[in-house]
């Protein structure tokens, strides 16, 4: 019994050490896992966050994007209710936000919850969906903008980059989080909040293979959930697109915040073109502002990702 108590104390001490320097984060997300032919990367990114003691999640907001707001909020609450306990979260920590880009000028439960959180501590804002919620928040609470340490945006590109997948490049996708509300992106860039871009050209390299997905079925409850709900998704990317696996686009933002040593970052200058594209270049430009740009992944990211997804943290 004494040895057991010592072991418990040791594990608890390790947990305290791991979380002592944790980054306070707010996650804005548009998960749609479970709906046929929808991207599942938000759910993988959220489970990764739940299992990462380097992150202290202070709240989540939901937005339109991969699905409508009602659906994304429902999915986010289900994920938090089932697996968020590992991060000390409850369903009440999920706050609905924008239903479309037209809500950019409207208040929401997401905005007020974020304001309350920022009054308590500074936060890193991780945007996994369109930036409508954040643009709305900055317009309504400009006095709290300085409390946001940085915004990590899943989006942006190098000039001339085409997002093409498969052996012939037959599948081409757009920069979804940007094109759904480019005006919101402009508003965020116009603010003084530091910005980090996790572009598709880098995040598309964070791939889950068929074999790695199969490993999830023997792991934690969260991993088994992801395994069950990603069957059509992995089939589409491997059998139809003939890609090496399914890209976990949103996972790059989470890896970069939790374990920055696995991400190659560089300084760039970004702006939104008249066509609605968010581009980032090493060269200065009159209309651009400095950003941090995730240019790629460093060795070890795949082992880290696999271990965290399969963790029995809950």
Say how many residues make up the chain.
314
Q: What is the pTM of this model?
A: 0.92
Determine, yes or no, domain membership for 77: yes
pLDDT in tens, 135-156: 999 999 999 999 999 999 999 9
Question: How much of the chain, in percent, has pLDDT values that exceed 70?
Answer: 93
The answer to whether residue 262 sits within a structural domain is: yes
d(CA 173, CA 252): 17
> Going by C-beta distance under 8 Å and a sequence separation of 6 or more, which residues neighbour residue 103?
97, 132, 136
Q: Looking at the domain assignment, is residue 260 inside a domain?
A: yes
Structure confidence by residue, pLDDT tens digits, 232-252: 999 999 999 999 999 999 999
List, for residues 19-63, the tens digit of each pLDDT value: 558 999 999 999 999 877 789 999 999 999 999 999 999 999 999
**Residue 166, token pair as written in the block:** 């498969």
The pLDDT mean for the chain works out to: 92
Question: Phi and psi for 309 in degrees, rounded to 5?
Answer: -65, -35
**Candidate from 71-80, 271-280, 304-313 with smallest mean pLDDT:** 304-313
In the prediction, which pLDDT does 13 show?
41
Residue with the bigger pLDDT between 15 and 172: it is 172
CATH number at residue 265: 3.90.245.10
DSSP for the chain reads -HHHHHHHHHHHHHHHHHHHTPEEEEEEE---TTSTT---HHHHHHHHHHT-TTEEEEEEEE-SSSS-HHHHHHHHHHHHHHHGGGGT--GGGEEE--SSGGGGGS--HHHHHHHHHHHHS-EEEEE-S-SHHHHHHHHH-GGGGGGEEEEEES--B-TT---EESTT--EE---HHHHT-HHHHHHHHHSSS-EEE--HHHHTT-EE-HHHHHHHTTS-HHHHHHHHHTHHHHHIIIIIS--SSEE-TTHHHHHHHH-GGGEEEEEEEEEE-TTS-EEEESS--TT-EEEEEEEEE-TTHHHHHHHHHH----
270-277 average pLDDT score:
95
Rounded average pLDDT over 149-171: 94
Q: Rounded CA gap, 178 and 206, in Å?
A: 20
2 pLDDT band, cuts 50/70/90, is low
User: pLDDT tens, 183-230?
Assistant: 999 999 999 999 999 999 999 999 999 999 999 999 999 999 999 999
The answer to whether position 169 is within a domain reads yes
Q: Which of 1-10, 81-90, 157-166, 190-199 has the lowest mean pLDDT?
A: 1-10
Asked whether residue 4 is assigned to any structural domain, the reply reads no
The answer to the question of residue 5 being in a domain is no
2 found inside a domain? no
Tell me the pLDDT band of 15, cut-offs 50, 70 and 90: very low
8 A C-beta contact, residue 59 and residue 24: no
Nearest Cα neighbor of 249 from 191, 163, 186, 180 is: 163
Structural domain includes residue 13 = no
Domain enclosing residue 194, as ranges: 24-310
CA 303 – CA 290 distance, rounded (Å): 32
Number of domains in the chain: 1
Q: What is the mean pLDDT of residues 239-267?
A: 97
Per-residue pLDDT band for 12 (boundaries 50, 70, 90) equals very low
Whether the predicted pLDDT of 14 surpasses 60? no
Backbone angles phi, psi at 157, to 5 degrees: -160, 160
């Amino acid at each position: 019994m004494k040895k057991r108590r010592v072991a418990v104390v040791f594990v608890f001490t390790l947990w305290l050490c791991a979380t002592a320097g944790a980054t306070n984060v707010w996650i804005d997300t548009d998960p749609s896992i479970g709906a046929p032919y929808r991207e599942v990367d938000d759910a993988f990114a959220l489970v990764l966050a739940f299992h990462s003691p380097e992150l202290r999640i202070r709240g989540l907001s939901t937005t339109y994007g991969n699905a409508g707001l009602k659906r994304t909020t429902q999915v986010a609450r289900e994920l938090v209710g089932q697996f968020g306990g590992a991060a000390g979260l409850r369903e009440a920590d999920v706050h609905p936000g924008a239903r479309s880009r037209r809500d950019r000028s409207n208040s929401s439960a997401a905005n007020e919850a974020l304001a309350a959180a920022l009054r308590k501590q500074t936060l890193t804002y991780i945007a996994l969906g369109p930036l409508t919620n954040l643009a709305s928040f900055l317009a309504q609470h400009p006095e709290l903008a300085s409390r946001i340490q940085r915004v990590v945006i899943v989006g942006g590109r190098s000039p001339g980059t085409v997002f093409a997948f498969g052996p012939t490049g037959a599948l081409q996708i757009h920069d979804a989080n940007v094109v759904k509300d480019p005006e919101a992106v402009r508003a965020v860039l116009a603010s003084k909040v530091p910005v980090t871009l996790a572009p598709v050209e880098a995040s598309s390299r964070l791939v889950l293979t068929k074999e790695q997905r199969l490993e999830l079925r023997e792991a934690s409850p969260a991993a088994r959930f992801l395994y069950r709900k990603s069957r059509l998704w992995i089939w589409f990317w491997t059998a139809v697109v003939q890609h090496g696996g399914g890209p976990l686009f949103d996972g790059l933002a989470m890896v970069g915040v939790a374990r920055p040593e696995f991400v190659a970052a560089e300084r760039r200058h970004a702006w939104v073109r008249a066509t609605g594209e968010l581009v980032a270049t090493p060269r200065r430009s009159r209309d651009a502002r400095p950003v941090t740009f995730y240019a790629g992944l460093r060795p070890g990211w795949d082992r880290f990702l696999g271990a965290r997804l399969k963790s029995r943290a809950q």
